[in-house]
Structure 1
Amino acid sequence: MNVKRTLAAVVSKFTLAVTLLAPLAAPAAAQGYAGLGTEADGFAVPVPGRPLVFPRDHAAHPDYRIEWWYLTANLTGDDGRDYGVQWTLFRSALRPDSDRQADTASVWTDPQIWMGHAGLTTPDAHYSAERLARGGIGQAGVAAAPFEAYINDWHMRSSDQSLRELSLRATGESFRYDLSLSANGPLVMQGDGGYSVKSADGQASYYYSQPHYQVAGTLDLPDGPVAVTGDGWLDREWSSQPLSEDQSGWDWFSLRFDSGEKLMGFQLRGARLFTSGTWIAADGTPTPLEPGSLQATPVTFTQVAGRKVPTEWQLRLPSRDLDVRVTAINPQAWMAMSFPYWEGPVRLSGSHLGKGYLEMTGYGTPAD
């Protein structure tokens, strides 16, 4: 009987993985990275001028194809070393919610699929874990009041409907973290009041951030627990076609300068390079960047999981006299997930000093 249960669990996980990945399995050149350039096909699409409303928009948006709750933290241990933490919950809809089967009493007709990623980076090691779940049966979800995002035993949770105070937890095979976060600044609307354009063709998402967290807690590593403090950054984004069909990947920077100012910047790689972002004043006031004004140039490439990945960048923003070198704390911070990518903490040098996080997707396959 135990063998049958084990086999059933394996089959269930395999079926869930196939169900999750099937809509995104087309070649990147045809549908954008991870299928994010796929046509909206009956899903809602972002429109400019729609104000974001809270706490409603902290919760899920099932009328849209894809969505994520994404938190990174730059941390310093009581051992004096730098650490980085990532926690992400993805929601992907198999079909528009209006197309749900007539038998809505059955939880098995729920079209929402959930995926969780957790990462923990040290100067000489990187740990990651993935969770898959389906909607409707209590494995994963997001609630607004009080706020909670969870998948199995991982959670991002608040005691009220705001995101000002959070607890964060994830566990992997060789790591665990339990963190408390407290925001000392306002939410930041990215783009035009939360409407963030991602291509010259006009693809866009709704996008806001909470980049003002102070963080404290404990990392459990193979060598034992480490008490940490530092800074955290939460990104919230949802859309139904966030990329153009030719965009094969992105390079995304969230940078925190010693001056108290911050920068969210990204470039999307495709037939035409598209760059944009937001300059965030020390008091949290955002100023959208003109497309193309941010210049991101790879400086050093590293062999990571058989791929050639840029792990040192020169980032320039002439309008802010910004000219910084962005260097990975651990160049081997590879997330070996269903869709693999690079994600890790970085240090800054040059015109502005500070720390931040870098995410890079679409950098080939081990055969390249």
Structure 2
Amino acid sequence: MSASSLTRRSLIGAAALLGLGGSRAFAQGFAGLGRDAEGFAAVVPGRPLTFPADHGPHPDYRIEWWYLTANLTDASGNAYGAQWTLFRQAMAAGAQGDGWATPQIWMGHAAVTSMTAHHAAENFARGGISQAGVTTTPFRAWIDAWEMRGLENFDDRSVAPLDVSASSADFSYGLRLDAKQPLVLQGENGFSRKSERGQASYYYSQPYFTASGVLTIDGKEIAVTGHAWMDREYSSQPLASDQTGWDWFSLHLPDNAKLMLFRLRQKDGAHYFAGNWITADGKSEQLAPGAIDMTPTVMTEIAGRRIPTSWKVSIASRGLQIATSPLNARSWMTTSFPYWEGPVSFTGSHSGTGYLEMTGY
């Protein structure tokens, strides 16, 4: 089922298959991710991540994603963003059936952003019938014709080189991703805590990708280069029942350092913060929640919602105090579970570019 052929009925049907429909989802956090995880595999500290196995799917866990964002520029210095995401969701815990009997659902999101436009597309597929999936040797993640594929000399430690492509009625792109450094573990050696009550995920990233390729927007081809960041995360209950969504940054700092930050919003206002400072040589150091300050400064009205599209971010222990601005404040993903996702730039003690994702608004 391609994004261009999706009807309102098929979107609602796909959401129902995911078991995350409508008001129930938002009553239990963004997209139902705060639901009880009984029967699914638990995320526990101390479990080592291994590769290439952890590049592949984990059907015993309820949800996971392969998530790529890219900050790109053309020859004239115009900025763009590109997103490629594959989600796997298990509708039920327990034994895995074959073919149409599998409880696995796959969903793909893709987007291209410029200063004046934001184009988004969505795909759904049922697991077990080869419409979507991930293999580790050779590495390939796909849903219909959208693909993330390992190229010759692919290295499991760096998840590179890769070819990434997606297309819809309004846009398409093909990007080559290269990385000279290994992937990094987020949280504490890949164990990423989401609350003080036990919610967590396994989480690693490749923040060092260089990107080159072609975007096509409304029929116009644009050669681009830039930086890209891939997140891999899997869990069975990544949110607590009283957490409504998150605000997440991936930032490319000067001298090739990287910064990942998120704020999980709680109904009582006692939000949970986490992050990792990643040095240029690949050392990933977890930040204490109390060391992170993320404060919205500009609100934008989008689709009947007030979205915080500009922020002040401070980490005093690292001498970081920056202000972020979106490339396009209206980077709203008009997908079955809508959210804001787009490229940002920042200035202050440090300057650079990155991506911001905000869910549950």
TM-score by length of 1: 0.92
Paired residue for 2:172, among 158, 165, 176? 176
Larger Cα-atom Rg: 1
1:124 aligns with 2:121: no
Is residue 2:25 matched to residue 1:33?
A: no
Matched letter for residue 237 of structure 1: E
What is the CA–CA distance in structure 2 between the aligned matches of 1:276 and 1:190, rounded to whole Å? Answer: 10
- CA distance 1:232–1:143, change in 2 (3 Å): same
Return the alpha-carbon distance in structure 2 between the equivalents of residues 275 and 198 of structure 1. Answer: 8
Structure 2 partner of 1:218? 214
- Aligned counterpart, 2:78: 81
Question: Match for 2:235: what amino acid?
Answer: S
Contact 1:29 1:247 in 2 (8 A): no
Matches of 1:269 and 1:20 in 2, distance apart? 27
1:251–1:267 Cα contact (<8 Å) kept: yes
Conservation of the 8 A alpha-carbon contact between 2:246 and 2:358:
yes
Which consecutive aligned stretches of 4+ in structure 1 deviate over 6 angstroms post-superposition? 9-12
CA distance in 2, matches of 1:352, 1:15: 43
| Residues 51-60 or 30-39, more deviating | 30-39
Amino acid at match of 1:164: A
In structure 1, what is the equivalent of residue 138 of structure 2?
146
1:258 deviates by 1.8
The answer to whether the Cα contact below 8 Å between 1:55 and 1:161 also exists between their aligned partners in 2 is: no
Whole-angstrom distance in 2 between the partners of 1:79 and 1:333:
22
- Is the CA contact (8 Å cut-off) linking 2:262 and 2:274 kept in structure 1? yes
Equivalent in the alignment of 2:68: 71
CA distance in 1, matches of 2:307, 2:335: 16
Q: Which amino acid aligns with 1:238?
A: Y
Aligned residues: 351
Q: How far apart are 1:29 and its partner, in Å?
A: 6.0
Equivalent residue of 1:113, what SS? strand
Q: Is the 8 A contact 1:147 1:161 kept in 2?
A: no
User: What runs of 5+ residues in structure 2 fail to find an aligned partner?
Assistant: 1-5
Paired residue secondary structure (2:289): coil
Give me the whole-angstrom Cα distance separating, in 2, the residues matched to 1:93 and 1:81. 40
Partner in structure 2 of residue 4 of structure 1: none
Q: Deviations over 1:115-153 (max 9, x none)?
A: 000010001100000000000111100000011100000
Q: 3-state SS of the aligned residue for 1:242?
A: coil
Conserved? CA contact 1:74–1:230, under 8 Å: yes
The one-letter code matched in structure 2 to 1:17 is A
The one-letter code matched in structure 1 to 2:14 is A
Q: For the structure 1 residues 71 and 11, does the alpha-carbon distance in structure 2 shift closer, same or farther, using more than 3 Å as the test?
A: closer
Please state how far the C-alpha of 1:154 moved relative to its aligned partner: 0.0
The equivalent residue for 1:231 is: 227
- Partner amino acid for 1:116? G
Residue type at the aligned position of 2:196: A
Q: Distance in 1 between matches of 2:179 and 2:229?
A: 9
Say if 2:46 is the partner of 1:49.
yes
Distance 1:218 1:11, change over 3 A: closer
- Aligned residue for 1:108, secondary structure, equals helix
| 1:26 to partner: Cα distance | 5.1
Shift of 1:222: 1.3
Same amino acid, percent of matched pairs:
52
1:60 aligns with 2:52: no
In the alignment, what sits opposite 1:5? Answer: none
**What are the ranges of 5 or more consecutive residues in structure 1 without an aligned counterpart?**
1-8, 364-368
Of the candidates 194, 202, 210, which is equivalent to residue 206 of structure 1? 202
Q: 1:16 touches 1:132 (CA, 8 Å); kept in 2?
A: no
* Structure 2 SS opposite 1:40: coil
Structure 1 equivalent of residue 348 of structure 2? 350
Aligned to 1:156: 148
1:12 CA displacement = 9.3
Match of 2:183 in 1: 187
The residue type equivalent to 1:362 in the other structure is G
Provide the secondary structure at the position in 2 that maps to 1:141.
strand
Deviation at 1:306, TM superposition (A): 2.5
